[in-house]
Structure 1
Amino acid sequence: QRVKVEREVLSYPGQTVNLRCAFTDVTWIYEPKDGTRSNIAVLHSSFQPNYPDSPLKGRVSFTATPPSLDSPSIQITDVRMTDEGQYICVYATYPGGNEQGITELVMLAKPQNSASVVTVEAGSKPVVVARCESVNGRPPAQISWVTTASGNGTLTSKTGDDNTVSVTSEYRMIPTPEDNGKDISCVVAHRTQVKPESFPLKLAVQYPPKVTIVGYDNNWYVGRTNVVLTCQATGNPIPVTVLWRTMSGSMPDTVQVTGNELKVLKVDEAVNTTFVCEVKNRMGVSRDQVTALVRGDEALEQQTPSVNPSNAGVVAGAVIGSLLALLLVAALIAVLITRSRRQQQGYRANGSSDMKTRIGGVTTAPTAQDILLSNELDEAERRKFDELEEEERYVNFSGGAPILQLRPPGDQGDMIGDYLDDDMESQRDGSVISRTAVYV
C-alpha cells in the first residue's frame, strides 16, 4: 500500500487549496522551510478528526464531510505567505510501518518591478550608475543587465515579515564622458510573469564641456568675405553659455558673433589674431582657440588671372616680337639719321658754290640765303660727326635676335654705302630685308 499525494500545489494569498491524500489511517504534518514539524490534522477510522495546535489551526480541515479514510484530503483556507512549506501525509501500515508522501506548497506573490539610472559624474572609481528592483515577490525574482558599457551588476535580497522577498540589483562601473547616453536595460524574470520584463534606460554621466572650433581653413587673405568659425561643444548638463573673445583684446569691428558662430564679414589685418571660444556648464568651463593668419599675397593671387601653361609659348613669343619691333623702329630712325649725315658730307665735299637744288626735275642754282643756312647746318653736323668718329655702332638683325656690335673707325663709308644699296634694292622689289646693318 502507498500514500497517494500531489507533488506540488500552487496558491496565491487569500485562496483555498486542497491537499489530497489517499489511504486509511492518516496524519498530516506541516514542515515550514525555516522551522520544526507540527501535526495539523489526524484521521483515524475509530475516532473523530483531530486538529492539533499549529499555525494553521482553525484554517485546516479534511475535505470530505464526514471525513473518509478513502480520501483523507485536507484544505487550508485564507492561505498566508507564511503557510509555504512541506505538507507530509503519513499513514501507518502493518506490518511495514509508516509510509508518507510530501507535497510542497509554494506561495506566489507578483512583485513590483522598477528600474532607474543614477546620475553620476565622470571619474576614476566604480560607482552605481543604474538600479533595478523587484519588491515583495515570491519566490525571489531574477535580475540581469544588458548593456555595452563596461561594468557588472551586484545582487542583494531582503525577506519581509510576510515572507515575500525584495531583490535589488545595482550596476557599477567607472563612468567616462563616452558612456553618457549609452543604452542599458534591466531584465526581471519571475514565476508569476508570462515573460521577463525589460526596462530600457540610458546612462547619465555628467562631465565638463568638450569644445572644438571648426571652420578655419588656413586661407584667410585680405579682402575675403563671410568666413565662419563654429564653436562645437558637448557636455552634461548641456552647455548653455558660449563666450567668444580674442587674445589681443577687443573683438574686431568686422566680426559678428551669433551664439556659437563667429562670422568675419571681411578679412583684414584686424582679424590677424587668436579667437577663443569658452563654454560653461555646471561641471566646469572648457575652451578651444584658433589662431588666424591673414595672408596678403593670397588676395593678389585671387585677383590676378593665372596663365595657362599651354599658352606660355604664345605669351613669350608676343613679348619677344614686341621687343624686335621696338628695335626695328630704332634701326629705321638710325638709317634716317645716317642718310642725313651722308647728304651733309656731300654738301661739304662739293662746297657751297656747287650746291644745286632740283625742283620738279629742273636743276636750279641755290640762293645766297640757302648757302648761308647750309653752312650753318654743316658746321653743327660736322661737330656731331667728329664726336662719333671714334666709335661706330650697328645693329645686325640677321638670324633673328638683334646683336649690338662695334666697328673700328674708317670703315663706315663703305658699310653705309652697302646698307643704302641693299635698302634701295629691298624697296624696289618689295622683298623683306633679311640682313640690315645700321651704323650710328
Structure 2
Amino acid sequence: MNYSGKINKEALTNLEGSLGYVFKNEQIQMIVGANVNEAYNDFLEVSGYDDKNPRKKEALEEAQDQKRNFKYYVDLVGGFFAELFMPIVPALITGGVILAANNLLINYFNVSPESGTAQIILAIFSAAFSMLPIYLGYTTARKLKLSPILGAFLGAILVNPSISAVEGLDFLGIPVTTVDYGGSVLPVILGVLFMYYVDKILDKLIPEFIKYFLKPFLTMLIVVPFTLILFGPIGTILSQYVGNGITWLMSNAGFIALPILSALYPYMVMLGLDKAIMPIGFQAVETLGYDPVVVVIGFISNLCIGASALAVSRFVKENKEKSGAYFSFGLTGVFGITEPAFYGALIGRPKALIGTAIGAISGGIFAAIFALKSFVMGGAPGLFTLLFFLDPDGSMSNMIIALLTGAISIAVSFFATTFILRYDKKRNEAHTLSNEAVLDNEQQTGR
C-alpha cells in the first residue's frame, strides 16, 4: 500500500526545528541536523522507547505488503551489508588514517620503522584491519539473530596465528588450504551464514536442559572445519576474481566507469549500496595493494555533495537559519559525512544535484586519466581521510593527484551548482514577470 498520499507535505516541510524530510520504504525520515541528539533524547522521553532493548521489527516487516521486485532485493542486499559494516566504520577510519600518518612519519620525519612509536601506531592499524574478521563475525551474527560472541569467536579463530597463513594444516586428514585471514571479509561472513543454518538444526535436535552448554560446542565444532576447508578457499578465489575484475575494469573502461560511478555514488548511498560494495574495496587492497574504485568514487562524490551544499547555503542566504545549517552540512560533507548535505540541502533541489553530477564527472575523468588509487580502505572518504592516498613508499605523486582531483571536484560542483541555481531563479523571475504582464494586459483590455 502506498501511504505517500496521506502525508501532509506542507506541514512537514515547515515543521519547526526540522530541515526537511525524506519518504523512503514507507517511512518518513525527518532531517534534524546539528540538534539530532537533543531531538533523539526528547523522542525517548516522550515515547518511552527503550533504546537498550529495541523492539523487534519482524512483525512490522511482515505486515508490509512489499513487492519482491528488483528494488526490493537491492534494498535487501544494501541493508544487509550496511548493518555489517556501519558499526565498524569508526575503527576503519581510525586505523586507516593512523596507518597513513605512520607512513608520513617514517618517510618524511625520520621516524624509524622499528621505533616504539611506529610499532604502537601499527598495532592500532592492525587492531582495526587485521582483526576485521572478528568485527564482521560479531556484526553478521547479530544481524542473523545469532549469539554475536560466537560470530566474533569464529573470526578470532580465523585470525589466530596458529591458523592464519599457516601451511600444512589438516583436519581429520582433510587438507586445509593456506589462507591469510587477516583483513579478509568473505570467509567469516560465509562461515556465519553457515552457522545460522547449523544453529537452527541443532536448536530443534538438542534437549532444552543441555542446550546452553551443548549447542555452542557442537555449532563451533561443525562450523570451524567447514569454514577453514570450504569457505576460506572460496573467499580467496572470489577475492582473486574481484582483484582481476577491478584491474580489467580500470585498464579497459576506467575512463568511462569512474566518472559515471562517481556521479551515481550519492544514490548508491541512498540505497545502501555503498556498504554493499565495501567488500570489493577490501578485496582490492588485499589482492592488489590498493583500491582504485570504491574509496576513489566515494572521495569524489562526497566532496561534490559538500561543495554543492555550500553553494546552496549561499543561494538561501536571506534565510540565516537555513543558510547556516546548509553551510554546516557542506563542511561536514567535504570531510566525508554527506547524509545531512544530501538529504537536508540537495535532495529537495534536484537541479542542484545536476551541479553535483557535473563536478563528480569532472573529478572522475581526471582521476581516471591519472589512475588515482587509495592505499587504505575505509569509510566516509573526504578531506579528513586524504592521507588514504599517500603511497606507502613515500612518493607524493598519488597524493598530488588526489589533491588536484579534490580541487576539481569541489570547484566544478560549487560553481556549476551556483550557476544552475542562479539561472533557474532568473528564469522563474522572468516567467513570473511575463505572466504578470499578460495578466495586466488582459485586465486593461477588459476595461
With normalisation by structure 2, the TM-score equals 0.16
Which structure's relative contact order is higher, taking Cα pairs within 8 Å and 6+ residues apart? 2
Normalized per residue, which structure has more helix? 2
Normalized per residue, which structure has more strand? 1
